[in-house]
Amino acid sequence: MREDDRDDLELHRRLSAGDRSAFDELYRRYARSSYGLALRITGQEVLAQDVVHDAFLALWRAPEAYDPARGPFRTFFLSLVHHRAVDTVRREERLRKRTERAANLEPVRDEDVAEAVVDESFLSGRRKEVREALLTLSPEQRQVLEMAYFGGMTQVAIAERLGIPLGTVKTRTLAALRKLRGVLGRED
């Protein structure tokens, strides 16, 4: 084991015990490389700063997420930064596409007005059905779906935000989607 890896293990042990100075030292060790990685992935300084901030915040809140048996701390932390940066890029892309769709509201030439009325009527009815179907879910199931589909959060981010295991988030999501499929499928 390298000397740096041993130092990281000791700092992590101290951090797990609530030692703020250990956190500060880990920040000094990994802030620059984390920022460089996040900047390469996001391509934007502000997004990269947010990614690094979120990664360090996650480390502070849940230092137990690092398992020394799975590899060096450096690998764990830079992987955490990488995943958060990729999630950020995906979220930004979804927001960009949504904004583009919202900005493109001018009607298409030669559009069949009757077809638009039928479409709007169908969509209005379908929205109502979906809202009613969502009410059949447990509050926990509804919460994870709303965070994922309306909040654009990953299952990992949802687990962190709610303070529950990732497996629980996956189970709630799958159960909710199956229930919605059953309720909405019968109506079709």
Confidence at residue 112, expressed as pLDDT on a 0 to 100 scale: 60
pLDDT, position 108: 53
Q: What is the per-residue pLDDT for 152?
A: 83
d(CA 68, CA 6): 10
Phi-psi region of 36 (alpha: psi -120 to 50; beta: other; left: phi over 0): alpha
CA 178 to chain centre: 22
Please indicate whether residue 130 or residue 53 has the higher confidence score (pLDDT). 53
- The token pair at 75 is 């690998």
DSSP assignment of 75-99 equals HHHHHHHHHHHHHHHHHHHHHHHHH
Q: Is the model's pTM score more than 0.85?
A: no
- DSSP string covering 135-160, please? TTS-HHHHHHHIIIIIT---HHHHHH
Of residues 144 and 109, which shows the higher confidence score?
A: 144
The pLDDT tens digits of the residues spanning 21-35 come to 999 999 999 999 999
Residue range 68-82: average pLDDT?
94
- Yes or no: say if 134 and 142 are a contact pair by the CB < 8 Å rule: yes
pLDDT of 99 reads: 86
Domains and CATH numbers, the chain: 1-106 (1.10.1740.10), 111-188 (1.10.10.10)
pLDDT value at residue 168? 95
Which residue matches tokens 């919605």?
A: 180
pLDDT bin (cut points 50, 70, 90) of residue 51 is: very high
The predicted pLDDT at position 110 comes to: 56
